[in-house]
Structure 1
């Protein structure tokens, strides 16, 4: 079986925009769910709703793959699963190393979705000598002293960094020097890499902060709406108080 060392996904050579590439996993997830339910075909509207995009954008994305569906029938689910998997490079084996086996690294190692999506955890690596040899998710942890050898022996081109921020750049440099060309970074820091190396950053605290912003804005809008409603009510009360006993505005008495 081919490894990530010798093969790259076909998307770049075919000129598929990065925004489209970022949406392909969303389509694949929705299609996989349909496939598991033995759904044979799906319309662009149904698939777009399941993926959380609009149908016009979905049809444009699929046009880059050369897939246009059949009028009145829709898209063949199984064929699209294969086609998108091929474009993403998921029809081959991608050995991955995870560096940093703390709580987060251990959770990633135990994630069961890697194998079904074309990825194989080839090694777990940590700087703590007390972890060396201990199994996590059935894989013995290896020491960072052996990082370069592990990369070479397993033909690894994708590395996952789950270390503390202070150690992330050094680990990144060693991964790149050993031949890793794609990095998924969970460390709360920005990594500097040379041209030709792709980095995807996952920062849970930033995502939570963005959600906090939206919650604060919604709370502010609700407060403003409540204040506006109270002002309208107060205005109506004042207007009623200015009226006479029969509801008429009292005449202004001459000075």
Structure 2
């Protein structure tokens, strides 16, 4: 009888340990942390922004602890596939090319691509006659950069295309006059245009891409995590959590 009691106590302890282990599961989310207001670092060096807040809300719904791992943009997908983090939530456009390397959740927001240039620039156009001889900037390995490259802007339009490692560096060159315009995500530029630095600039022309779907990336074949993230996304949309985060950053819905 004493041996049986010991067996029951051991079994109970094992169950408690297993439950604690599940509760203590930690997932790592990859974020660039250089793309405000979606992801950035505050004065204390903490990662903040829309992507981080959405990631935290999803982790809460999945009942897991999450930590942030930052990565340079150029290597962010290879870092995911090298298992430096478990999922990538860093304003990544869902494209056919990227689908060859990673799997995506359902979109967690929609974006547009649009040019910005100095307010003093009149009659801005995206046709060959206007753009010829100008310098256009974009962040490297983004949908904006790809859009410029796919149109062979340098040869067919006589446009100098300058690609940057971060969006912030593109803004610096726009401020200094080294580029005539920037093509980037509208909602990222919306934030910058409200800043002191961006006050002399504005959106130009219509968006060149109207529906840029942004998803969370997981490693190929990680259907379990992808399905959990999709379920959690539905929950935060349904219970109003998503709207609270959205309204913290934008006076309009980006879902």
Place the TM-score, normalised by the shorter chain, in its bin.
under 0.3
Rg larger in structure: 1
Higher relative contact order by CA 8 Å / sep ≥ 6: 1 or 2? 2
TM-score computed with the length of structure 2 as normaliser? 0.27
TM-score computed with the length of structure 1 as normaliser? 0.27
More helix by share: 1
